[in-house]
Structure 1
């Protein structure tokens, strides 16, 4: 029996790692443009509002795609949806690499948004089903590490290549394209699933018996990723103003630092067996402290406060998101896992969209430090509200 169990675990570990890799690659691809927007603005001459619209259209297609493809993967299988998402992600990278004007950026981000929407919920559900020991906490760790790690690696790699390598607007997308094609080939070789092959569009839903717990986890995750959205969209520009620098490697590293902190605390959370009920409120408090440091960094002209903000906010994101994803994995019924996971991720990306778009619009109307302060205060108040709800379990 022991030999059989070991063989089964080994057999399933490959598909589990490939699926986690697919999620990592799509987040890596989706965040490659983060440090490059300043380059695009100089070359194509668009405003801060247009930059916000590029981000908004990405979210506008990502959220419906999560809901549609989360259901679809429950019916036709995770493998098919993952291959489709990776293929469309490759198209998005080609469009961005070939961009000649702002319209190409819009097209590339639309393709990337649909690709990530198709892949994110599907991969998260597949990881629960493929985890060799049927451990939902380890599946949650793989999900959040792939998302946070991919989101961190994208701007870090793109910033370094744009600063120190040739073809700053193309090379990082070439790297992403190679990774995406290799990953798609690996996914295509995963075992075929036994599925009905039929799908009827229907209104996404969360089972009534889990809605309260779902809403609490969804609000907490949305709040911490709303702050993550600030770091991935406007904090690089904020840092550039603060330090009077255009070093793309440094600006990409600021976003990566926040998400690297998230990955580190997620790994520690599993190692010490931190429960979702404890991880979420602890993370929300760390997030509030990080926001306070971020808001105070500009008046103080302090890089130290920016770094502290990244570490605290990243730790808060890591703790809270790990706890929320673990709770959703435990709550979701097997036959609706893709649908419920997609609904949860919809909450997450709505939070990202709300702060990133608000900060972009406010920075055009007032100033970037004012926008960061306003959005940061709103996110902090929401985090404190979510913290209070977490304590009322």
Structure 2
């Protein structure tokens, strides 16, 4: 999961290079970013449940092969068309992998798997953006080197996945599982509704730093360095990953409230920094926002996933990632259009930040209205710390949601 999400953020510091070489506008950058999110959504909706039927290993190996092909497409790209194609292949493979690898971690250990599903997205995103920035800045052929390095990582991982044991028993219905619908167990419907607004809001923030962040940081610090292009996303993501570990023993609801409060405060500080042109305040605001990202996403994961049975994990996890990538993709594409046809980069950033704050407050209202969701900690304690649940009652069988 770390390597897939690192690969997804690796192009971020290169967008300025592509823009200079190929002469496209800022809206193209956000379209490229948004196309990836749409492709991930498609992969999640069509392939998200496949590993419940054919096994985790076959889906992961196929996804790794497709991701390796995307790295080759990136490294040989000579224009926007090839870049978009690479992003589509990358997004589809990432969507297929996220549900399978996340469910596999839950199969191995439900408590640790839940934590890993919340921790690894931030770590992967941070690693990809920072390492890519240094490669672009200091190594030769930057638009090739980072992708070829990732290609080597995926080759090693394909061999490793082929050697591990399968964690689920194959079940019929593989072709039926490709129909884009989510199996939402009745008992997790309420927790999902409570978590979804928080998850959407925090990933909308990630979309802001992934699409507009590089240009903002370079403008604030007065530098064209590729390292600065990935630094904002790195700070956001590494603080998010750290907060997951720091708050792993807190109650899920407390973690979600912490995430919402930090999200509002962090975005407010970031907007103040943009308006005043203060670089250090921008990074302070980014760090506080990172706390909001990590806490909000972890709270959502821990509220929902421990309530699922093993054969439901990949489908429900895919649903959470669908919400995540909708939050990341849709607002960022709209922001790209506003940069070109609206008030420019600074004004659009301020409007985007205001929307994220509004989403966070909407998430808070949804939590308060729904009352206390069943938290992961309660499930683990009730099951003796093993994360195992009693058999599902007939009334709790999954309900198909188109």
Work out whether the TM-score is over 0.5.
Answer: yes
Identify which of 253, 257, 260 aligns with 1:281. Answer: 257
Matched, 1:357 2:330: no
Distance 1:286 1:191 in 2: 40
- Report the secondary structure of 1:206's partner residue: strand
Can you list the C-alpha shifts for 1:132-159, whole angstroms capped at 9, x where unaligned? xx42xx2222122221111111110111
Shifted more, 327-336 versus 174-183: the winner is 327-336
Aligned to 1:77: 55
2:207 and 2:332 in contact (8 A); partners too = yes
Identify which of 361, 365, 387 aligns with 1:388. Answer: 365
Aligned to 1:310: 286
Aligned to 2:108: 130
Matched, 1:291 2:267: yes
- Report the secondary structure of 2:48's partner residue: helix
2:2 and 2:121 in contact (8 A); partners too = yes
Matched, 1:301 2:277: yes
Aligned-pair CA distance for 1:198: 4.5
Matched, 1:150 2:124: yes
Aligned-pair CA distance for 1:56: 2.1
After the TM superposition, which residues 308-387 of structure 1 pair with which residues of structure 2 at under 5 Å, given as runs?
308-365=284-341, 366-387=343-364
Instruction: Output the aligned Cα RMSD.
Output: 1.4
Aligned to 2:140: 166
Can you list the C-alpha shifts for 1:5-35, whole angstroms capped at 9, x where unaligned? xxxxxxxxxxxxxxxxxx1110011110001
TM-score norm. by structure 2 comes to 0.88
Aligned-pair CA distance for 1:194: 2.5
Distance 2:330 2:79 in 1: 26
- Report the secondary structure of 2:184's partner residue: coil
Can you list the C-alpha shifts for 1:23-49, whole angstroms capped at 9, x where unaligned? 111001111000100000001111122
Aligned to 1:140: 114
Deviant stretches of 4+, over 4 Å: none
Distance 1:161 1:60 in 2: 27
After the TM superposition, which residues 1-393 of structure 1 pair with which residues of structure 2 at under 5 Å, given as runs?
23-131=1-109, 134-135=110-111, 138-192=112-166, 193-196=168-171, 198-199=173-174, 200=176, 201-202=178-179, 203-270=181-248, 273-365=249-341, 366-391=343-368, 392-393=371-372
Aligned to 2:397: none
2:305 and 2:316 in contact (8 A); partners too = no
Aligned-pair CA distance for 1:50: 1.9
Distance 1:150 1:79 in 2: 21
Distance 2:269 2:335 in 1: 17
TM-score norm. by structure 1 comes to 0.90
Residue segments in structure 1 that go unaligned for 5+ positions in a row: 1-22
Distance 1:73 1:56 in 2: 26
Can you list the C-alpha shifts for 1:67-122, whole angstroms capped at 9, x where unaligned? 22221111111111111111111111111111111111011101110011011121
Distance 1:333 1:187 in 2: 23
Distance 1:27 1:197 in 2: 30
Residue segments in structure 2 that go unaligned for 5+ positions in a row: 373-402
- Report the secondary structure of 1:321's partner residue: helix
